[in-house]
Chains A and B, each alone.
Chain A
C-alpha cells in the first residue's frame, strides 16, 4: 500500500522543510557564521517577538548552538550554525529519500536508478 499521505510535494525547497522564519535565520547564519540576536533581527528584518521562540526551537532541534557572553555588564547570546548549508541539504535529501522509499518501496528505488542512468 502506497502511503500517499506521507508525501508532500512542493517547489519551495528549504522553506518547506523549515518554516520561513527558520529558513531566514539559517540562511543568515550560513552567510555570516556567528551572529548575536540583534544582528539576526537586523539581518532578517524579522521582529524579536517572532525570532526569539524560533531560535529556542532551532537550538533544541540541534540546528544551531548558542553561547552566552557577558561583556561590559551586558549579557548576550552568540549563535552558530551546527551544519553547513551542504550538510543540511544532504540531511534533508536523505530524509526525503527515506520517506519516498517508505511510501513507494522498490518502485522509488527503481525510478531513482532510472533517473541516475539518464543523467
Chain B
C-alpha cells in the first residue's frame, strides 16, 4: 500500500483529532531539535525526556483513535522507538565525551602516573585533569575529572581520598538500572547527601579518615 494513501486514511480516521495529535508530534519534534541545540547537558537531557513523553503520548493517541489501517502508525512507532533509543544511548555515552571536549581534559596518568593506577584498583574508570585553578573534582559517566587547582592543593593521601570518593560514585552509577541513571542525570540538580555520605565512608576506608577530613577541610564542598 502506498504511503500517501495511508496518510490520507490517517487524516480521515482521526478527523477532528488529527490537528490535536499532529500538534503533539510537532511539539515532540521541536523539543528534540531544542535538546540537540542546548549546550548544558542537564537541560538537554530534560528537554529530551519531555520530547520523549510528548512523542509517546502522540503515538498512543494515534493508536487509540485510529480504527482503519494501522500499518503506517506501526512503522512510525518502530522508527520512533529505534531512533529515540539510539539517541538516549548516544546521550549517555556522549555525556563524559562532552565534558572531556568542553574542559579540554587530558588523561591524568600523563601528569601524575599513580592516579590512574590507583583508580584502576577500585573501579574501571578513566581519570582526567583539566585546566583550572579552582579546586574541583567530579565523576561523569565512567570518567573522573580533577582540576589542576585540586592537584596543586592536595597532597597524595588527600588526593587518594578524593579519587576513592569519585570512584565510589562510578561504581554506584554502573550498578544502577539504566532508567534511574537517566532520571538522576535529568532531574537531580545536586548530589544526594545520602550518596555523598556513602562515598565519603568508602573514601575513608580506602585512604583513611585523616586524609579524607583534611581534604574536605581544604576544599570544602568542591568535590561532589
Contacts and interface: CB of A to CB of B under 8 A. Distances in A.
Nearest to B136: A52
B111 A48 contact: no
A56 B148 contact: no
What class of interface size applies to chain A in its complex with B?
Answer: 10 to 19
B112 interface: yes
A77 B111 contact: no
B153 A48 contact: yes
Interface string A36-64: 01100000000010011101100000000
Given A70-B111, A70-B112, A73-B112, A56 B151 contact: no
B112 A75 contact: yes
B111 A56 contact: no
B153 to A, nearest CB: 7
A117 to B, nearest CB: 48
Interface residues of B, number: 14
Question: Residue among B132, B148, B149 with the most chain A CB within 10 A?
Answer: B149
Contacts of B111: 68, 70, 75
Given A48-B153, A70-B111, A75 B132 contact: no
Interface of B: 111-112, 114, 131-135, 148-149, 151-153, 156
26 contacts: A37-B133, A37-B152, A38-B152, A48-B135, A48-B153, A52-B133, A52-B134, A53-B133, A53-B134, A56-B133, A56-B134, A66-B133, A68-B111, A68-B131, A70-B111, A70-B112, A73-B112, A73-B156, A74-B151, A75-B111, A75-B112, A75-B152, A76-B152, A77-B148, A77-B149, A77-B152
Given A48-B135, A73-B114, A74-B151, 11 more contacts: A37-B149, A37-B152, A51-B133, A52-B132, A52-B134, A68-B131, A70-B112, A73-B112, A75-B148, A75-B151, A77-B133
